[in-house]
Amino acid sequence: MRILFTGGSGKAGRHSIDYLLERGHSILNVDKVHLDNPKVLTRFADIADAGQVYDVMHSYANYDELNAGTGVPAFDAVVHFAAIPRLLMTSDNECFRINTLGTYNVIDAAIKMGVKKVIFASSETTYGICFADGEVKPEYLPIDEDHPT
């Protein structure tokens, strides 16, 4: 599959990209930080800017695609990990802008570009474990939609 991966340079993204590469997928990483992996091109983009998101959704994923001479193929899937991962890394307004507007732009562009699969990864902070008062342990892992709140 040809996969556009947002946030692939981050802690979870780099491992997920390695996993996908091992299974033969072609990846284009979209991030603000370069991924040090010679098998993956990184396109620098601000996902909160819809124009930049559309631009990368219509990009070559690797140099081999240039040789075909048939134009830019559509992505088969988008994996969206790009986000401000936790509080206090930036202002609340900037965190909201990137995480909310950025996610909207990625999903909107994927739909309009005909991408059939969009995989969205949430942050561990949404479960209330990281910044809870005292120690909070989940009843089971992985935490799913049925986990008690």
**Would you give per-residue pLDDT tens digits along the chain (149 residues)?**
999 999 999 988 999 999 999 999 999 999 999 999 999 999 999 999 999 999 999 887 777 777 767 778 889 999 999 988 777 788 889 989 999 999 999 999 999 999 999 999 877 666 677 667 778 888 888 888 898 87
15, 27, 65, 135 from 37: Cα distances, Å: 11, 11, 18, 37
18, 27, 39, 96 from 22: Cα distances, Å: 6, 11, 11, 34
Say which CATH class 2-127 falls into: alpha beta
Within 8 A by CB and 6+ apart from 148, the residues are 139
> How far is Cα 125 from Cα 122, in angstroms, rounded to an integer?
8
Q: Where are the domains of the chain?
A: 2-127
Structure tokens at 72: 């830019």
- Strand 26-31 and strand 2-6: the pairing is parallel
Residue identified by tokens 């991030």 is: 31
